[in-house]
Amino acid sequence: SDLANFFLPTRMIARNGALLGGLLVGISATRAGLRAAPLRSVLAAGLLLFGTWIHITQFRAYTEEPLAFENGETVLSGSLYLPSSAGPHPVVVIAHGSIQAPRAIYHLFADALARRGIAVYSFDKRGTGHSGGEYQSDNNASEENLRLLASDVARAVDTLNTMTDRFTGGVGVLGISMGGWLTPLAATMTGDIAYMVLLSGPAVSVGEEGYFSNLAGDNFETEQLVPVAVADSLTRLEDPSGFDPRPTLGNLQVPGLWVLGLQDTSIPSRMTADVISAFAAAGKPYEFRMYPGADHLGFGTEWPYDLEPNVIEDMVDWIHRQASTAGATP
């Protein structure tokens, strides 16, 4: 399923399958000789060939290049997914969610976009993977930490903007979950974000989001107290607290698409949609898509928890339109 691939990317399964096949071949040959263990050897060789075939067929649509950048004295490392089709291509930087995870956790989205002609830069969050710096804590949404992480995104955008011959339409940002707070902040730190896609990105304050998710039961320890729609309504009675993206969004003119799930227990999607609608009515270049069956990040609520239909396609189409418009601007 898509949810399984989010945590165990197909690439990892294929690579490990090939390695396991090779290991079994070596063990069989060393311990018993190929003649003494023909069946095991054939099976192992089959695994090796199958893993290799999967890798070739699944990943020839794009290549990955290592790319590091600096933010102050901190070096952050990532992978640049480059479509194999003729370029130049649009390019987006992934702005992280709240969990402690390296770039691999976002492979599902990077893979999906790269296969559809969009280059993607995904880097290890500071203090994870091969990136330097200190990881603060899961769900650390203090304004200080949000601004620090947003500055990493801004520097990643600046780095890609030095490679304009390889891309078209400027550099966009795909903000995932908490990345919905990071992306507008990053846009205030660099003037070079061409557009932004906010996948389950809240357009409400940290306090409002936390209040909603507690009511809706957004973790394994808290039971759902009220239905999602009721939690959304009750959240509207709360005063904003903590970082609030609305003033920042009110000062930006960066085109933005919010991709929201009506069943999301992490963020108040209905409230976020209303915020975006109000900005759009005031002339801001913002819009949203609401997916009735989608939970957080666009995943369905029933087995096999695949991404809801059209989530990826709608993001891809919107990015291509934005890049085309930006590329045509003198």
More confident residue, 257 or 105: 257
pLDDT at 312: 98
* String of DSSP letters for 69-127: EEETTEEEEEEEEEESSSS-EEEEEEEP-SS---GGGGHHHHHHHHTTT-EEEEEPPTT
* String of DSSP letters for 158-214: HHHTT-GGGEEEEEEEEEETTHHHHHHHHHHH-S-EEEEEEET---S-HHHHHHHHH
pLDDT surpasses 90 at 325 = no
pLDDT digits (tens, 9 = 90+) for 73-102: 999 999 999 999 988 999 999 999 988 878
- Is 78 within 8 Å of 71 (Cβ atoms)? no
CATH class of the domain comprising 62-328: alpha beta
Categorise residue 289: left if φ over 0, alpha if ψ from -120 to 50, beta otherwise.
Answer: beta
Provide the whole-model pTM.
0.83
pLDDT digits (tens, 9 = 90+) for 5-41: 555 555 555 555 555 555 555 555 555 555 555 666 6
Q: What residue ranges do the domains of the chain occupy?
A: 2-58, 62-328
pLDDT digits (tens, 9 = 90+) for 125-141: 999 999 999 887 777 88
pLDDT at 305: 87
Residue 317 CA, chain-centre distance (Å), reads 17
